[in-house]
Chains A and B, each alone.
Chain A
Amino acid sequence: KAGVTQTPRYLIKTRGQQVTLSCSPISGHRSVSWYQQTPGQGLQFLFEYFSETQRNKGNFPGRFSGRQFSNSRSEMNVSTLELGDSALYLCASSILAGDKETQYFGPGTRLLVL
């Protein structure tokens, strides 16, 4: 069974631009969660989607948004990029909504904002 895939793996943007990251969960997994990892703040939860609905959200500004498609693939979008948005963005999938015991993480997308 293929693992969680994230595209692109690396991205360079400039301040003010927007970016869209993609995550394909493991086949059969309907829950996708997104995390931001920075050296200063560590790993922080962004949001979780299940069956195309956002069911949980972390403490991030509205510039961070996401969506999930009927095939469970998910995208997250960051608008009006700031330097502080430079981070590794990880997504994780699980079978059940709210399942934080059996999450499978993708390799991440490393975003650099210049």
Chain B
Amino acid sequence: SQQGEEDPQALSIQEGENATMNCSYKTSINNLQWYRQNSGRGLVHLILIRSNEREKHSGRLRVTLDTSKKSSSLLITASRAADTASYFCATVRLNRDDKIIFGKGTRLHILP
């Protein structure tokens, strides 16, 4: 079964607005990562947050992690057309077999 579940499944916003995507997971984790995928192509690593971190920034991206609620959020500020893509969270479980487990993703569409 999927470890991460993104919410919403799809999101359409106007260019310039902020986009927020959420991810919930089930088990204790070592770290949580966010990836972007453009139109059925390869994944691009965006940001990694470790289990002992609560917030991380990278450019227009802001990621939060709440281990007590087993949830994370990805905020993209001042969205651009080029941000149109699918966004996935992925978790690496604590003390388990190195496997990384991906959620099913949020499809983000930036309207001009």
Which residues of A approach B to under 8 Å, CB–CB?
A: 4, 35, 42-45, 48, 56, 58, 88, 90, 92, 98, 100-108, 110
Contact = CB atoms under 8 A, between A and B. Distances in A.
Nearest to B102: A43
A107 B102 contact: no
Interface stretch (B17-25, B36-44, B64-72): B36-44
B2 A42 contact: yes
Nearest to B43: A105
Given A42-B2, A100-B92, A101-B48, A4 B102 contact: no
Interface of B: 2, 31, 33, 35, 40-45, 48, 88, 90, 92, 97-105
Contact of A56 (B40, B99, B105): B99
A88 B40 CA distance: 8
A88 B92 CA distance: 22
A42 B45 contact: no
B42 A90 contact: yes
B5 to A, nearest CB: 10
Contacts of B104: 42
Closest 9 CB pairs of A and B: A43-B102, A98-B98, A105-B42, A42-B104, A100-B100, A105-B43, A107-B42, A100-B92, A107-B41
Nearest to B103: A42
Nearest to A103: B45
A42 B40 contact: no
